[in-house]
Copies of this chain bind each other. A is one copy, B any other.
Amino acid sequence: MKTLPLGRAFTLIEPGPLVLVTTNDGRKDNVMTISWTMVTGFSASFAITTGPWNHSYAALQETRECVIAVPTVDMIDIAIGVGTCSGRDTDKFDKFGLTPVKARHVRAPLISQCLANIECRVVDIIDRHSIVMLEGIAAYFDSSRKEKRTIHAVGDGTFIVDGRRLDRKDMMRDKLPGGL
């Protein structure tokens, strides 16, 4: 997994992939599946919707750290499995064969199997909307991975796989931040 310039991290989340969010509460690693995410700025700012109904939320609140990991289509059943059991009674890394990798700045682990990982700090929690604001502080991308297609939850139990990619860089030139 190679370092990805932080200025590119938002491009991992902007297309709306299903993501895994890892935490470590000081005793053990945990991971949850999140589909409700949003980019809020080019300098690696993100919002996710979560709350006390997720076991990971307590760790997120206390440690104010997490990792956003981006799985690909070959990991769909792992992502759904992670999202349909709880860290309360399950060691999800063990159950789903996920390999935790030590992060650089946070105690929450990167996930070795994922296409990309973003180390994040919690910068704000907007309780009334169950929104947690994150700032990306380091990003990684596994360019050696063959399968790079991510998945998009529809919310009704179906998932859309990435199809082909259209290039409109010329039309967008004036709107893109430097370096993209």
Contacts and interface: CB of A to CB of B under 8 A. Distances in A.
How many copies, total?
A: 2
A47 B39 contact: no
Contact of A76 (B45, B80, B151, B168): B168
Contact of A38 (B11, B37, B152): B37
A130 to B, nearest CB: 7
Given A168-B76, A171-B77, A16 B131 contact: no
A75 B81 CA distance: 35
Given A36-B40, A38-B37, A165-B160, A152 B152 contact: yes
Contact of A40 (B84, B129, B167): B129
Interface stretch (A59-67, A90-98, A100-108, A172-180): A172-180
Interface of A: 8, 10-11, 14-17, 35-42, 45, 47-49, 73, 76-77, 80-81, 83-84, 124, 126, 128-131, 133, 149, 151-176, 180
